[in-house]
């Protein structure tokens, strides 16, 4: 994402606590910052992309955090997938410092991030959003403005809950087909031409499961995190999400089995171990 900003002519200074990540970014044209406060002090727009909202809040607002060095009038764009509640807390704290805040989670995975074709779901300060829109368009093919702070996070959590449900469904269906003796390539071809088609059937099955390679992609740990945030929000709002809660258990099982760092489609192996079959070509 940072590399796509560089390609579009933006001057980008970055910082990551993982030195190897900084080196990779530097090789793509990102200037290496010496720390979060140093980067924030010299930036008109600060973009954060961290695993969870609590990490973003800590990096921005903890003692020694980036907000201490920010000038009034700048904008913070938070692009993690996280908690709508924490997004509102961050927005309020930054507003007290006259700093605009946009929560703008993304969808599309590693491939679309590299291509600059992400979907970006932005909410919060509308004036700041309009100012930052060209920058967001440098990273995303479709950019949506969805209203007040936290709406972007809420919509992203709903999307990722559906992704998890669909992934569980296609894994169950493919294992069932294998057990019944159906050719998996033919089964998937029919599904992808029929009403059972989904992102998971189009991308996860051929890209990970058929290849028996679960490296890269969207980690099972992060899928579980997003499912947990979605079901937590549902409990707060007293909305039953029965399928979401059930699907979440697959990703919890992947974590318990030590496979949380692999692509979320690794959950297929749980079914395979139970049934004594394997989805492979």
Q: Which domain holds residue 197?
A: 154-275
- Tell me: do 6 and 120 sit in the same domain: yes
H-state helical runs in the chain: 2-7, 19-27, 36-41, 53-61, 84-95, 109-115, 126-139, 151-179, 184-192, 199, 220-236, 242-256, 268-275
pLDDT of residue 125: 95
Q: Kindly state whether residue 182 falls inside one of the protein's structural domains.
A: yes
Catalytic residues: 156
pLDDT of residue 182: 98
Q: Which of 94, 116, 147 is the last residue of a domain?
A: 147
Span 233-252, pLDDT tens digits: 999 999 999 999 999 999 99
- Tell me: do 32 and 122 sit in the same domain: yes
Q: Which of 128, 147, 166 is the last residue of a domain?
A: 147
- Tell me: do 248 and 159 sit in the same domain: yes
> CATH code at 18?
3.40.50.720
pLDDT of residue 3: 94
Span 66-112, pLDDT tens digits: 999 999 999 999 999 999 999 999 999 999 999 999 999 999 888 89
Q: Name residue 140's beta-bridge partners.
A: 118
0.85 cut: is pTM over it? yes
The tokens for 206 are: 């051929």
Q: Kindly state whether residue 280 falls inside one of the protein's structural domains.
A: no
pLDDT for 219 beyond 90: yes
- Tell me: do 187 and 74 sit in the same domain: no
Query: Residue 57: which of 110, 18, 101, 25 has the closest Cα?
Result: 101
> CATH code at 244?
1.10.1040.10
Q: Nearest 5°: phi and psi at 238? A: 60, 45
H-state helical runs in 42-150: 53-61, 84-95, 109-115, 126-139
Q: Kindly state whether residue 100 falls inside one of the protein's structural domains.
A: yes
Q: Kindly state whether residue 281 falls inside one of the protein's structural domains.
A: no
- Tell me: do 28 and 122 sit in the same domain: yes
pLDDT for 116 beyond 90: yes
- Tell me: do 16 and 143 sit in the same domain: yes
- Tell me: do 208 and 236 sit in the same domain: yes
- Tell me: do 6 and 131 sit in the same domain: yes
If you average pLDDT over residues 117-121, what whole number do you get?
97
- Tell me: do 87 and 106 sit in the same domain: yes
pLDDT of residue 222: 95
pLDDT of residue 109: 82
Q: Which of 99, 131, 147 is the last residue of a domain?
A: 147
pLDDT band at 17, cuts 50/70/90? very high
Span 26-70, pLDDT tens digits: 999 999 999 999 999 999 999 999 999 999 999 999 999 999 999
Quote the number of domains for the chain.
2
pLDDT band at 163, cuts 50/70/90? very high
What is the average pLDDT value for the chain, to the nearest integer? 96
Q: Kindly state whether residue 236 falls inside one of the protein's structural domains.
A: yes
């Amino acid at each position: 994402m940072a590399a796509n900003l560089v390609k579009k002519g933006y001057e980008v200074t970055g910082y990551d606590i993982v030195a190897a990540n900084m080196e990779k970014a530097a090789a793509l044209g990102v200037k290496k910052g010496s720390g979060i406060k140093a980067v924030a002090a010299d930036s008109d727009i600060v973009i954060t992309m961290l695993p969870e909202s609590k990490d973003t809040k800590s990096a921005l607002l903890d003692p020694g955090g980036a907000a201490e060095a920010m000038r009034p009038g700048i904008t913070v764009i938070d692009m993690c997938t996280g908690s709508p509640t924490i997004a509102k807390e961050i927005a309020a704290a930054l507003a007290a410092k006259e700093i605009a805040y946009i929560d703008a989670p993304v969808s599309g995975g590693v491939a679309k991030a590299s291509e600059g074709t992400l979907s970006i779901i932005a909410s919060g300060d509308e004036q700041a959003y309009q100012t930052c829109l060209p920058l967001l368009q440098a990273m995303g093919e479709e950019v949506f403005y969805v209203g007040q702070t936290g709406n972007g996070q809420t919509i992203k959590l709903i999307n990722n809950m559906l992704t998890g449900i669909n992934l569980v469904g296609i894994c169950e269906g493919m294992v069932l087909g294998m057990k019944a003796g159906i050719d998996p390539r033919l089964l998937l071809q029919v599904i992808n031409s029929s009403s059972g088609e989904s992102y998971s059937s189009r991308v996860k099955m051929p890209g990970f499961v058929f290849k028996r390679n679960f490296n890269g992609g969207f980690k099972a740990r992060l899928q579980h995190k997003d499912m947990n945030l979605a079901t937590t929000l549902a409990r707060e709002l007293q909305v039953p999400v029965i399928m979401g809660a059930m699907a979440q258990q697959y990703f919890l099982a992947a974590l318990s089995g030590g496979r949380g760092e692999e692509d979320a489609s690794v959950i297929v192996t749980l079914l395979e171990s139970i049934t004594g079959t394997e989805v492979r070509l």
